Structure 1
Amino acid sequence: MIVGVLKETAEHERRVALTPEVTAQLVKQELEIWVEEGAGLGSNFPDAEYEESGAKIAESRDKVLSECDILLTIQTPDEADIKKLKKGAILICFLWALQHPELVELLKEQGITGMGMDAVPRISRAQNMDALSSMSSIAGYKSALIAANELDKYLPMMMTAAGTIPPAKTLVLGAGVAGLQAIATLRRLGAVVEAFDIRPEVKEQVESLGAKFVEVELGDDETQTEGGYAKELDKSKQELQREAIHKHARKSDIVITTALIPGRPAPILITEEMVKDMAPGSVIVDIASENGGNCELTEHGKTVEKYGVSIVGPYNLPSQLSLHASKLYSKNMVALLNLLLEDGKPNFNFEDEIIKNTTITHQGEVISPMLKE
């Protein structure tokens, strides 16, 4: 079995799908690893380290594509690359199939088995394969650092001869993996942190990190999916949510937004009116900007100033910590491969919940229950 690793070509993407450390593990399992020349340079893994781990460095991208049985990437390869894969090849990467039906059709037409790292189910047995959580943790950490850098104030309380400076007040919207990591990082930096989430189940986690949980009475409706994601609220509940957010955002120096709904644009949590009410010099870091943003005024890839408030819509936060992001993603990847491969060959056991949910297409058919629904 030849496992191919490509150099990522998407803008702002510096990660690599396999690190030399994990490559060595796969070589010991008698898999042949072909790595495109320079694939790891963006994450500070030179070709020499891959060669030492037992990989073959391929000078030609086309050779990796045409010869590999399994292709591992971060971002989805473009259409031209996918068409160079041989029929029956397996592509494992972030596919985001719900948002890209044309990609699903292409994979079916080409006879490619597509496995989405974004589709790994959030169950305890799949935790070591959960690349979304790995990358979200990095995004949450980095968002707090960006906010601290943009703010023209101290984050911790400072007692000086010239007087005492109170700590910065911060608000984190969404207490999933990214939000919890943002909370933890802001607390380490000394800020006072409040957090809001429509899921009351996360209150204990928020408080365990030393933050105050903002509670809103939303009734007894179910507020999260089976996978643990927040559900979209009806209009009356959205209004209650916005009122609470408005009240707390008004007095915050920093707001970090992390709310995403799988397969849908990011929900608007911060309206223009709320931004107008924030103090000049305040900062919003919108982690969800790639999916449209949680702030009505976010511009993806830019830092803009509106009504005296800096609004940051960052590109690809995990890629900004590319070395550790690659290490975590690579370990997620090898955990999935260890489940998929049996005696060195792929075994698509669709009785297994992880294989069934992660596999988007196989042998020209849609497998994913998420897509079928």
Structure 2
Amino acid sequence: MRVLAAMSGGVDSAVAAARAVEAGHDVVGVHLALSRMPGTLRTGSRGCCTIEDSMDAQRAANVLGIPYYVWDFSERFKADVVDDFIAEYSAGRTPNPCMRCNERIKFAALLEKALALGFDAVCTGHYATIVTDAAGNRELHRASAWAKDQSYVLGVLTAEQLAHAYFPLGDTPSKQLVREEAGRRGLSVAQKPDSHDICFIPDGDTKGWLAEHVGEAPGDIVDRSGAVVGAHEGAHAYTVGQRRGLRLGTPAPDGRPRFVLEVRPKENTVVVGPKAALATAEIAGSRFTWAGMPPVDPATPFACEVQIRAHADPVPATAVVADGELVITPGQPLDGVAPGQTAVVYVGTRVLGQCTIDRTVSAIPVDA
């Protein structure tokens, strides 16, 4: 099998490529240059696609004895991930850029180019597994180690993309074993720290970055009744569930802290209220996809589990497709769900599908 190994410069993708070589596949390594922003070029950047990372990937490819290339996807990345991030925040939503990168770059743009060049699969260092059922359909499942499981961020993959995806690390019990394997293989990235934060915001200051790219627009902070209780310099700087940094001029009647419940960009207002009002009884999204075969009858409610963050615990739920939306009702209220987040639906260990959350229904009535 001809395999294109996406090599980020980290230990996971290096070991994944090594395992693909060891399995006897014809492997070519590729590093994606995703950003031309100056901040991502300096030493110490905490993202995942820096100049240093490309050199680490090059060294790993040399050790493995495979061809290596750097592909410039920066324009596509800016349009599909960075600009989308700005647009979502401007619309009062909370996006997940890693989901968009997997959806539109690694398993869309990269896979399209790989297939056009005659490759059979794209290999990555994600911790997830692919299972083929009796009928030959491929299913996406959680990794064997739940502590490192990354199936949530892969929930955007479609059946066609799964058909050409290859995750060699899915059955590995721990990240430490991957590091030890990298050391035995002579890979210099064996003890390289994991990347974190948003790769195109290398200093981690998301609020400052958004202020620079979206601009400041002073407005009101209101309670659930509409009464003004404070002011803000830009609604984009607030997310559902936020408590710190509100600087409210009017204390709550009960003296308890208040949290961001909603961001209304059209009105340029931020709505705050008690923590109890963050409880969400229903979520829904019209932008949904199935990871492999869909339910036999998605218009009939079916039992599942829903996960709304990469490291959140799954919650038992019921889901149904109605009026063009995937509507999910958790068995217990979810805390602090924001439009723009991704809800991934599981059945057992299998990723069934996902939706970008468009709307939420609070478990606490406004007049409560």
Give me the TM-score of the superposition, normalised by structure 2: 0.27
Give me the TM-score of the superposition, normalised by structure 1: 0.27
